[in-house]
Amino acid sequence: MNKINSVSVSHVNRSIWGHLAEREKTLPLVTPLDIYPQFQETRGSWFWESGMAVVEIETVDGIIGHGWCEDGCDATARIIDNHLSRLLVGQDAAEIEGLWDRLFRASLPYGRKGSALHAISAIDIALWDIAGKSVGKPVYELFGGPVRETIPVYASALHPVGHEKVAAEAKAYVADGYQAMKMRFPFGPGDGIDGMRENERHVANVRDAVGDDIEIMADAYMGWDFAYAKKMVRLLEPYRLAWLEEAFLPDDLNSYAKLRQETNIPISGGEHEYTHFGFQQIIEKGAMDILQPDLRRCGGFTVARKIAALAAAAGLNVIPHAYGPVHLHFAQGHTNVPMIEHFPVPCWDELPDVDREPIFHGEPQPSGGYVTMSREPGLGVTVNDKIFT
């Protein structure tokens, strides 16, 4: 038995999504607050400050595991410090399934979704890091992987910054080897028929730039409603989208299910959903074709493996939200996780100063649209000390 000796958590003024979170504060895209004129201009008008929590768990044998999650409001770190850590210290670090269940049950009165699950996710990720390091194997091998030699990534950016810039950006991703790419819609129900036409032109422009052999997708970031989406899919069907992402609020599963009946465009979502219970509801409703959990939100590897199993039995693929070591290990260990998201810096932009110091040392980076994993034990990365200062 390898007892947990200590649990500590640090709040860091950085986003786990890297440069995208900072840049998206001023980039055009439709958001769930777009229907309110005072929040229409930019996401930065309502978004929280970038922040993440880094959890460090040390065992009596001296093995240290790290996990992390978003923590823009500094709530996650407090949940761990003020409650969850005392359910972990003195327990066997290898008992990951049981510890997850205890944390979930203990946090039910204030938990189930949101910050409490972010906290449990970070702890779970750290425990899997320890499990891998304990046996000298990468985490994906503990899941039965690798299931493929390399992991395909898709380029996720293409904000509506003007047709010429977007076309050049899309062509640059093809030149870099990406086989798939995702754009953001500029407009929603508050912007009328002109907005709908501009949404269509944005998609048409990307399709035209990349040709027929590249997959293109589009993200509405929860900014539409059913009546609007029903009209939009008619306009979008000729462009052969590989999926239409997060058309509605995460809880509005009836609209997702109805939209699936309206169109042949695959419907995706799930980056704001939590636990296997939440994803089971998506599946039962027939609401989505592709599930997109974020393991740093939904409950960590322990939950994501259950989601992958539910999805496999329902004939669905899982394509996690955002990039990072956690999602790379998940993809490398599960057959129905064919691809993950990557946020390249567009050819017309540059990395913000705040993001020049990497969050991790040893994080695999894509080359030619693919990532090759190492066989380093655990998650195979170390958190960069400099981000704590």
Q: Does 273 bind Mg ion (CB under 5 A)?
A: no
Q: Does the annotation mark 11 as catalytic?
A: no
Q: Which region among 51-59, 122-130, 187-195, 215-223 touches Mg ion (by CB under 5 A)?
A: 215-223
As given in the structure block, the two tokens for residue 5 are 């000796």
Residue with tokens 């981000």: 387
Could you tell me the smallest distance in angstroms from the CB atom of residue 291 to Mg ion?
12
Q: Does 70 bind Mg ion (CB under 5 A)?
A: no
Count CB atoms within 10 A of the CB of residue 234: 13
As given in the structure block, the two tokens for residue 54 are 């880094």
Greatest CA separation for the chain:
64
Q: Does 34 bind Mg ion (CB under 5 A)?
A: no
In the chain, where do the E strands start and end? 4-12, 52-59, 64-70, 151-156, 180-184, 215-219, 241-245, 267-269, 290-291, 317-318, 340-342, 360-361, 370-371, 382-383
Phi first, then psi, for residue 50 (nearest 5°) are: -65, 135
Question: For Mg ion, which residue has the nearest CB?
Answer: 219
Could you tell me the smallest distance in angstroms from the CB atom of residue 158 to Mg ion?
12
- List the strands of the sheet with 52-59, edge to edge: 4-12, 52-59, 64-70
**Interface characters, 162-201, with Mg ion (x: CB under 5 A):** ----------------------------------------
Q: Which residues pair with 173 in a beta bridge?
A: none
Q: Which region among 131-139, 189-197, 211-219, 273-281 touches Mg ion (by CB under 5 A)?
A: 211-219
At residue 227, the 3 state secondary structure works out as: helix
As given in the structure block, the two tokens for residue 44 are 């930065």
Q: Which residue of the set 276, 321, 329, 342 is catalytic?
A: 321
Could you tell me the smallest distance in angstroms from the CB atom of residue 179 to Mg ion?
19
Angle, helices 275-284 vs 300-313, to 10°: value is 20
Could you tell me the smallest distance in angstroms from the CB atom of residue 197 to Mg ion?
23
Total residues contacting Mg ion by CB under 5 A comes to 1
* Inter-residue contact 325 to 380 (CB < 8 Å): yes
Q: Which region among 140-148, 214-222, 229-237, 346-354 touches Mg ion (by CB under 5 A)?
A: 214-222
Q: Does 294 bind Mg ion (CB under 5 A)?
A: no
Question: Of 71 and 219, which has the nearer Cβ to Mg ion?
Answer: 219
Choose, by CB under 5 A, the member of 71, 129, 191, 219 that binds Mg ion: 219
At residue 276, the 3 state secondary structure works out as: helix
* Inter-residue contact 269 to 292 (CB < 8 Å): yes
Q: Which region among 119-127, 207-215, 218-226, 322-330 touches Mg ion (by CB under 5 A)?
A: 218-226
Could you tell me the smallest distance in angstroms from the CB atom of residue 269 to Mg ion?
8
Residues with active-site annotation: 321
Could you list the residues that contact Mg ion (CB under 5 A)? Answer: 219
